[in-house]
Amino acid sequence: MSDIAQQENDLLIAIASAKDEAGLEAVRVAALGKSGSVSALLKTLGAMTPDQRKVQGPAINGLKDRVTAAIAAAKDALGAATLDARLRTETVDVTLPVRDAPVEAGRVHPISQVTDELTAIFADMGFAVAEGPDIETDDYNFTKLNFPEGHPAREMHDTFYFSPKPDGSRLLLRTHTSPVQVRTMLTQKPPIRVIIPGRTYRSDSDQTHTPMFHQVEGLVIDKGSHLGHLKWILEEFCKAFFEVDSVKMRFRPSFFPFTEPSLEVDIQCKRDKGEIRFGEGEDWLEILGCGMVHPNVLRNCGLDPAEYQGFAWGLGIDRIAMLKYGMNDLRAFFEADVRWLAHYGFRPLDFPTLAGGLSP
């Protein structure tokens, strides 16, 4: 075998056995690079006689062309193999469900959802939101609301008290959102139209009571506010909240120290295998307390009962959340079990609005 044929043979073997593109490149440099073996052969042409060149020229150039072609073919093959290997490890199954982004995976607690829902409803009727502290004075939680010292109505509240201060006064965890009525009347001039959602506390725990729970208070003070307005507001609220066309409501006489007259409100419902439906049926379900603000409360808050009158109501948020969304154990609301929340929670981007619909 001539030297050229031998060299071609060796190079083709080296090309065929290159395992990757880097190995192939090394073979190319060794053969066709500036000081490669094929380049060295080409350089010998200059020193040859024309006759020798006639024979060697085509032989050496032929070698160069074939080696170049073999390298190009091997390069294509190695590139295709590398791509195949990558495609095999980087498969994407486009039929898999899209994984939620963190902001979509989180869930809104039903209490927050219901608070947002009722805020949307009352905001539409022109109510502002007022807030007050969870730790209250006895004066705001009871005395200014016309609970006289030693009155039995105080006992009914199962109050959590803090240790007495040196002057004998005791702070407490507010037992209802009503003290924020006092705070509002002391700081705002009528006409007043507010709702007060918030946490409240009583020493009580069973399937329908937890030591911490939520209420929403409503307060309207103006010169001519009367029970007819209250009735209309509550009916419109219940229809909007339970998303039904009509509700029947029953107003029963009751007693609260801070209202006169005082009423309790039931809504008509139908109980069917543990499910409750509103706007039909023969059963009644108590949902809130309300009344005309007692003249003593108005006076305690610096308003003249001869000039102003108004009404108020208090409603359990947890209770109406359970009714609307079919949950039967209040305690689960506060156990922070993410499985429960994943089931009963709401998608954060489904914010309730009257225009877009309250519940998803």
Contacts of 174 (CB under 8 A, 6+ apart): 132, 133, 134, 135, 136, 141, 200, 201
**Closest residue to ligand DAH, Cβ-based?**
314
Per-residue tokens: 298:
């108005």
Q: Could you write out the DSSP letters of every residue in 93-153? A: -TTSPPPPPHHHH--B-HHHHHHHHHHHHHHHTTPEE----SEEEHHHHTGGGT--TT-HH
Closer residue to ligand DAH in complex, CB, 198/289: 289
The answer to whether 192 contacts ligand DAH (rule: CB under 6 A) is: no
Q: Which stretch binds ligand DAH (CB under 6 A): 129-137, 300-308, 309-317, 328-336?
A: 309-317
CB 125 within 8 A of CB 239: no
List helix spans (H) across the chain.
3-17, 21-32, 37-44, 50-89, 102-105, 110-124, 138-141, 152-155, 179-187, 227-242, 295-300, 317-325, 338-344
Binding mask 239-268 for ligand DAH (x = CB under 6 A): -----------------x--x---------
Shortest distance (Å) from residue 219 CB to ligand DAH:
7
CA-wise closest residue to 323 among 270, 264, 245, 255: 270
Contacts of 96 (CB under 8 A, 6+ apart): none
Shortest distance (Å) from residue 277 CB to ligand DAH:
26
The answer to whether 344 contacts ligand DAH (rule: CB under 6 A) is: no
Backbone φ and ψ for 151, nearest 5 degrees, come out as: -70, 135
Q: Find the binder of ligand DAH among 291, 297, 318, 320 (CB under 6 A).
A: 291
Please give the DSSP secondary-structure letter assigned to residue 294: P
Number of residues in contact with ligand DAH under rule CB under 6 A: 11
Shortest distance (Å) from residue 356 CB to ligand DAH:
30
Backbone φ and ψ for 296, nearest 5 degrees, come out as: -60, -35
Q: Would you put residue 356 in left (φ > 0), alpha (ψ -120 to 50) or beta?
A: alpha
Shortest distance (Å) from residue 313 CB to ligand DAH:
5
Closer residue to ligand DAH in complex, CB, 24/118: 118
Contacts of 108 (CB under 8 A, 6+ apart): 116, 345, 346, 347, 348
Shortest distance (Å) from residue 106 CB to ligand DAH:
32
Q: Which stretch binds ligand DAH (CB under 6 A): 44-52, 160-168, 289-297, 333-341?
A: 289-297
Closer residue to ligand DAH in complex, CB, 190/345: 190
Pick out residues in 170-189 that bind ligand DAH (CB under 6 A).
Answer: 176, 178
Closer residue to ligand DAH in complex, CB, 67/216: 216
Pick out residues in 72-91 that bind ligand DAH (CB under 6 A).
Answer: none
Cis peptide leading into 261, omega within 30 of 0? yes
Shortest distance (Å) from residue 262 CB to ligand DAH:
6
The answer to whether 346 contacts ligand DAH (rule: CB under 6 A) is: no
Contacts of 147 (CB under 8 A, 6+ apart): 153, 154, 257, 258
Pick out residues in 111-140 that bind ligand DAH (CB under 6 A).
Answer: none
Closer residue to ligand DAH in complex, CB, 155/167: 155
Q: Which stretch binds ligand DAH (CB under 6 A): 3-11, 24-32, 66-74, 285-293?
A: 285-293
Contacts to ligand DAH by CB under 6 A: 176, 178, 217, 256, 259, 289-291, 312-314
